Amino acid sequence: PSPSSSQGNGASEAALQCEIEELKRKDLALDQEIAQLLSEGYSLEELEKHISLLHEYNEIKDAGQMLLGKLAVIRGVTTKQLYPEYDLELSD
């Protein structure tokens, strides 16, 4: 292999190593957060149910945003202009 290809592989290996370390830090932080919640009296089942409900909420919200976007295109307005019509807050 040429020196430049070796340097390229070294750089990608270094980037992967950094990504692995970052994922390990995130994993540790999540483990600590779970331990904290468990110490506060939450159960794993409760946490899993809560996470499941959050996923469902996000999917429904995404579908609503998509529909608002399509309606805005049809009407030739921005989605922001539709919010008052449906009693939505901009933070929704």
C-alpha span between 21 and 25 (Å, rounded): 6
pTM over 0.75, yes/no: no
Confidence of residue 11 (pLDDT cuts 50, 70, 90): confident
pLDDT, position 28: 96
Tens of pLDDT, residue by residue over 23-36, are: 999 999 999 998 99
Q: What are phi and psi of 30, to 5 degrees?
A: -65, -40
Q: Are residues 47 and 86 in the same domain?
A: yes
User: Residue 80 domain-assigned?
Assistant: yes
pLDDT, position 2: 47
Tens of pLDDT, residue by residue over 57-92, are: 999 999 999 999 999 999 999 999 999 998 988 876
Tokens of 7: 């340097």
Q: Are residues 68 and 49 in the same domain?
A: yes
Q: Please, how many CA atoms are within 13 Å of residue 15, restricted to the half-sphere of its CB?
A: 6
C-alpha span between 52 and 58 (Å, rounded): 10
User: Residue 31 domain-assigned?
Assistant: yes
